[in-house]
Amino acid sequence: MPPKSKGRAFRNTPVQAPVPSKNEPPEPFSRPSSKLEPFLSTLSTNHIYITHIDTKPVDFKRKIFLVPVLMNVAIVGLILWRIKNILPWYMKICWSLMAGARNETSLDTAWMSYNDIAKEILRRSMSFVLDLIIYVFIWPWPRAFFTGRAAGNPVLWRFIVGFNREEIIVRRSRRWFQAGLDMLEEGSEQDLVLRTVRQAVDPMWMNEKTGYLMLSKEWDLDWKLMVTATKLCDKKKMDMKDFKPSIFIHDKTFGWMTIESAVASGTAKEEEGRRKIVAFKDELTVMGKENLFFRWIELVQFESSQPGGFGPERQEDTMIKAKKIFHDSLAPDWLNLSKITERLNLNQGSANGFLDVRIYLRGNEDPGLQNVQ
């Protein structure tokens, strides 16, 4: 018999999943690239920030920006007209009350009836209230537009940056976000933040708006940071691609953390599916068939919500119905549509192909659906 081996016997131990390093934040958060440090050092820890590149046409951006410029110029003009007409009257009232000089604003109440006194008090009170409303609620609009300092102002931003094919857009959270919130603690507060962020980076919504139109009750534009980011790129300290759609959240333990937009709005596969759907909608819009896009969405939404689930057979039936709708509506252009779907990889006949529209529907409500007949 051959001698027994004296070699040591080894047992196959199961491979354990890698444990996240204590120096790294848990998923879906990660540390941003060190290349972003010049930009991150200018951020306030009291806000969430979203960056992306606005690639809308330059002419479109000019037209969009011209609207608030004209509106605020008109407001300033009306305020100046009001000041020109009302300031002498206020000066005469002050001169009459403080210096005792009689003028047309002086009232001799001893010779006036109670009705006349009441009417004069009401008239002056209404004038005071009107001017107070203008000062408190209307004047801040043009003041912030032309001379805002806390977060900069759009006029200074456009003056420094100008109008470019690619522009860095930086949004920051408003008061809905509680400064100091522990984003690593799972719960309703974390869900609310991630849901709000997911809506803010939805590809379809972002595709339809230029950066200036992204002001909302949840997000404000940080004009000063947009200028800073642009200057960093001009000085070659950072690249334009560093400001791809990303979300930045500060944590006391890990410092600045980032959520890539693919994670914030779903998986990378879902984001790619949404990108295809956005491109397909644009193609149909060019063909003058945008309503066909919403009919397609309505069909898939209806079929996928039926009892019994959205199995392979129902998917196949839905795809046949969808192709019939497109064929009947685009009979002369059917060949062009086939080329478009092939180019966008939308004619696979599966949930990852022609039915990718379900990815667009997930967590996304489009007002256009309400107009589909």
Selection from 280, 266, 265 nearest residue 326 by Cα: 280
CA distance 347 to 215: 37
Helix, strand, coil shares of the chain, percent, nearest 5, are 55, 10, 35
CA distance 330 to 290: 12
Q: How many of the other CB atoms lie within 10 Å of CB of 246?
A: 19
Which pLDDT score, from 0 to 100, does residue 95 have? 82
Written as six digits, the tokens of 96 are 């009459």
Which pLDDT score, from 0 to 100, does residue 369 have? 36
pLDDT at 93 exceeding the cut of 70: yes
Which pLDDT score, from 0 to 100, does residue 140 have? 94
Q: Predicted confidence band at 116 (pLDDT cuts at 50, 70, 90)?
A: confident
Question: Which residues does 274 contact at the CB level (< 8 Å), separation at least 6?
Answer: 202, 203, 204, 265, 266, 359, 360
Which pLDDT score, from 0 to 100, does residue 161 have? 95
Written as six digits, the tokens of 159 are 């003056």
CA distance 90 to 83: 10
Element (H, E) at 247: strand 246-251
Backbone phi, then psi, for 194, in 5-degree steps?
Answer: -65, -35
Which pLDDT score, from 0 to 100, does residue 272 have? 63
Sheet of 167-173, strand order: 219-221, 167-173, 49-54, 246-251, 255-260
Selection from 158, 151, 157 nearest residue 173 by Cα: 151
CA distance 135 to 137: 6
Query: What's the pLDDT tens digit per position in 31-48?
Result: 999 999 999 999 999 999
Please state which of the ranges 130-134, 359-363, 368-372 shows the lowest mean pLDDT.
Answer: 368-372
CA distance 152 to 224: 5
Q: Predicted confidence band at 154 (pLDDT cuts at 50, 70, 90)?
A: very high
Which pLDDT score, from 0 to 100, does residue 334 have? 55
CA distance 295 to 373: 8
SS3 at position 248? strand
More confident residue, 182 or 136: 136
Query: What's the pLDDT tens digit per position in 155-195?
Result: 999 999 999 999 999 999 999 998 878 888 888 888 888 88
Return mean pLDDT, the chain: 79
SS3 at position 272? helix
Average pLDDT over residues 364-369: 40
Cβ(211)–Cβ(167) under 8 Å? Answer: yes
Which pLDDT score, from 0 to 100, does residue 214 have? 93
Which pLDDT score, from 0 to 100, does residue 354 have? 52
pLDDT at 221 exceeding the cut of 80: yes
Which pLDDT score, from 0 to 100, does residue 36 have? 94
* Rama region for 47: left / alpha / beta (φ>0; ψ in -120 to 50; rest): beta
Average pLDDT over residues 119-148: 93
Query: What's the pLDDT tens digit per position in 6-22?
Result: 444 434 444 444 445 56
Q: How many of the other CB atoms lie within 10 Å of CB of 12?
A: 5
pLDDT at 303 exceeding the cut of 70: yes
Average pLDDT over residues 68-93: 94
Cβ(184)–Cβ(251) under 8 Å? Answer: yes
Query: What's the pLDDT tens digit per position in 269-290?
Result: 555 666 677 777 777 777 777 7
Which pLDDT score, from 0 to 100, does residue 301 have? 75
Which pLDDT score, from 0 to 100, does residue 265 have? 47
Percent of the chain with pLDDT over 90: 38
Cβ(48)–Cβ(241) under 8 Å? Answer: no
Which pLDDT score, from 0 to 100, does residue 14 have? 46
What's the N-to-C CA distance of the chain in angstroms? 88
